[in-house]
Amino acid sequence: MGYNMIDLNKDVKYVKMVGPNRVKLLNKLNIYTLKDLITYYPRDYEDRSKPKNLYECIDGEEVLIEAMATNKISEMHKGKMTISRLIVKDQTGTCYITWFNQGYLRDKFQPGKMYKFYGKISVKGSRFEMNSPIHEEIDQKRNTGKIIPIYPLTYELKQNTLRRIIENGLLEVKDKLPETLPKYILQENNLWDINHAIERIHFPIEFSDFNKARERLVFEELLTMQLALLKLKNNHEQSLKGIQFNKDVNMSDIINILPFKLTKAQLRVLEEIDRDMESAKPMNRLLQGDVGSGKTVIAMIAAYKAVKSGYQATIMAPTAILASQHLESFQGILSDFGIRCELLISSITKKKKTEILERLQNGEIDILIGTHAILEENVVFKNLGLVVTDEQHRFGVKQRSTVATKAQNPDIIAMSATPIPRTLALILYGDLDISIIDELPPNRKKIETYAVRKSMEERVNNFIKTQIKEGRQAYIVCPLVEENEEMQLKSVIELAEKYQKETFCEYTVSYLHGKMKAKEKDEIMQKFKDGEIQILVATTVIEVGVNVPNSSIMVIENAERFGLAQLHQLRGRVGRGEYQSYCILKYEGNGETTRQRMKVMCDTNDGFIISEKDLELRGAGDFFGTEQHGLPEFKIANLFEDIGVLKKVQRIAFEIMEEDALLSSEKNKMLNELVKEKFSTRIEI
Ligand code: ADP
Ligand code: MG
């Protein structure tokens, strides 16, 4: 503990070796401060601590050898390439080392002197070879002689450079980091102190160090999240009295006139919502249900109850087109009950908007459906009682709480189509009550899914043509281009052009990507909906729930680059009408995991099964890395590997909060700080 003499928030530019150029590169990695720097954790390690004798080396392994140069470098030229060769020896063998285009090495090695080399070794009979190894003089210790951390994503920064910068950062804070966890927690759970943990996570001396260091940091990260969630929940529950909607308004009045029979799951969820709405406690409920499971009608029935109890309701959707779609379905049913719905999106005329705002304030509008436009300050309700956000992961917590401030403790339903395993949901959405629709309406046709390779391209294209001839439409999703939006746009446009000019020249092809203006996107989507466009080439922007019942084909290029959950979301764009629909996953690569992932997609349409498999096959790091899950991001914890810690920490958090709900006692002061910090940065729930 003790005094904090170091400023962890100081700009990373003050760290040794960080000049103006490197600052920019570090910022790209989201490293802005000294603290960001020392908490940029390695993703892997290489053991360059223990040298091996050549005869012990196994073909293909990464090893450190200590050997004597037997010659000066000899150079060969092949075209423009310079090839440098060095032969080295230890007591057990001879190794042939090669570098390409490293002319500056020419005089680096002196015959008779010892050096260290680290790299991948190949063993062919009794011949050892290394290409482009890392090298050092025998007594140097910069790049070898220890366990070396490997950092995730470094862009143009070299691993060596980043490592040395982090080393410098660590030097500044050595033994001076203020402890962040209370002593009693450290002791009871046998955890390392913060200084030890931070130092050893970067530079473990033994591999077991890494486990202990990691355990401590994961524990802290997960405990903080759990405490923050519980605090949120306490706040909700202790907040003033919520609305008690009228017990005499029966949801069944509307259920009975629906054109379809609700599924058991829908009915169960409605019961849960009805109970919450009638109780005095403000509802704060997450409604999870796979694409097409029928969440909209749930929102509609809840809104019906709110309106008939004398309140207004609002539905917020992430896109204008989705909002319009909701308006249509709401009006189709609710106008018979004399309920007045309106649409508020940014593209309506000023005059119309003024009129809507006025009627809203007078209580002449019962249900306002719209986009972010609803959040604007001048949108004032007469007596808002129910707030629904659709595709909740598209909205930040802040935005959701903004709508909620337009009323006095309204009931809130957050709808989400991203199924996550129930155990995780319970933990991660600790502050919300959860309702799950785990059943699709009957008679849904399974979307036939095929995983194909490049060689099948022509057949796929012919298949698309046959479908279009029958009057259907197709989506083609472009490969994800990692980390580079510009390139992604380029690939969308190029692909669309190629398809328009060559492959599908007899049809209308258009494209859609995230950088287009909302209005442009809506126009294209509308045209697609109206059947003026037959083939829509797009990025993942189409994953959000727009309904085009006539589209029956979803082609996903380079499907191996997408997460399963995302593939599932995309697939959910088809199969929304009466037609048999198809999803074609084009993939490359021979990896076993890729093969298994494609198989999961072909085998099942169940989002919950897919999300479990996704976790299993990729690990949570990737699973939750995709922003579409809208789950909290962790610096070090991996929800798949660390599920054990997560459960333990959840129990501990409960115990702490039970005893000290406000975290106000002296011994929990530090925990309170951690939670506060969590709220002040971002908490994505
Ligand atoms: P999502 O949960 O993805 O938002 P929607 O609410 O858009 O799904 O529902 C998808 C389609 O299923 C809509 O056309 C809706 O009218 C229909 N639907 C919803 N519930 C049922 C049901 N119980 N039986 C038949 N069709 C239903
Ligand atoms: Mg929906």
424: CA distance to ligand 1 center in Å? 26
**CA–CA gap between residue 329 and residue 366 (Å, rounded):** 15
| Bridge partners for 476 per DSSP | 537, 555
- How far, CA to CA in Å, does 97 sit from each of 52, 124, 220, 355? 16, 14, 45, 79
Number of residues in the chain: 685
Task: Tokens 């570090």: give the residue.
Answer: 26
**Whole-model pTM?**
0.66
Name the residue at shortest CA distance from atom 18 of ligand 1.
Answer: 294
Report the pocket of ligand 1 as residue ranges, CB < 6 Å: 260-263, 266, 289, 291-297, 417, 441, 545
In angstroms, the CA 302 to CA 297 distance is: 9
Q: How far apart are CA 250 and CA 112, in angstroms?
A: 93
Q: Which atom of ligand 1 is nearest to the CA of 572?
A: 3
Residue 443 confidence (pLDDT): 77
For ligand 2, the distance from its centroid to the CA atom of residue 334, given in whole angstroms, is 18
Q: What distance in Å separates the CA atoms of residue 508 and residue 435, rounded to the nearest whole number?
A: 42
* Cα distances (angstroms) measured from residue 600 to each of 82, 222, 586: 48, 30, 14
CB count within 10 Å of CB 425 equals 20
Per residue in 439-485, pLDDT (tens digit) is: 888 877 889 999 999 889 999 999 999 999 999 999 999 876 655 66
Hunting for tokens 């690569």 — which residue is that? 589
Report the pLDDT value the prediction gives residue 45, as an integer from 0 to 100.
Answer: 87
- In the prediction, which pLDDT does 627 show? 44
Q: Which of 607, 614, 598, 575 is nearest to 456 (CA)?
A: 598
Alpha-carbon gap, residue 50 to 92, rounded angstroms: 16
| H helix and E strand count, the chain | 22, 22
Atom of ligand 1 nearest to the CA of 547: 7
- Predicted local distance difference test score (pLDDT) of residue 318: 84
pLDDT beneath 70: ranges in the chain: 1-4, 153, 236-240, 392-401, 419, 421-424, 426-428, 430-431, 480-486, 543-545, 618-633, 640, 679-685
Rg (CA), the chain: 30
Two structure tokens written together for 354:
């003024």
CA distance 52 to 65: 5
Comparing CA positions, the residue from 266, 606, 597 lying closest to residue 447 is: 606
Identify the burial level of 62 via C-beta atoms within 10 angstroms of its C-beta, where 0-12 means exposed, 13-18 middle and 19 or more buried: middle
Look at residue 422 in the predicted model and tell me its pLDDT: 65
Sign of CA dihedral 69, 73, 76, 80: positive
Residue 628: its pLDDT value, please?
42
How many angstroms separate the alpha carbon of residue 589 from the centre of ligand 2?
Answer: 34
pLDDT for 484 equals: 60
| Tokens read off for 80 | 């423009």
For position 470, what pLDDT does the model report?
95
**What tokens does 98 get?**
């090669």
Which pLDDT belongs to residue 1? 40
Cα 477–chain centre separation: 19
Q: What is the pLDDT of residue 294?
A: 93
pLDDT of residue 152: 80
Ligand 1, atom 15: nearest CA belongs to which residue?
294
Q: Kindly report the CA angle at 199 between 177 and 183, in degrees rounded to 5?
A: 50
DSSP string, 492-553: HHHHHHHIIIIITTTS-EEEE-TTS-HHHHHHHHHHHHTTS-SEEEE-GGGGS----TTEEE
Task: Out of 268, 296, 447, give the residue to mutate to test ligand 1, the one with the largest number of ligand atoms within 8 Å of its CB.
Answer: 296
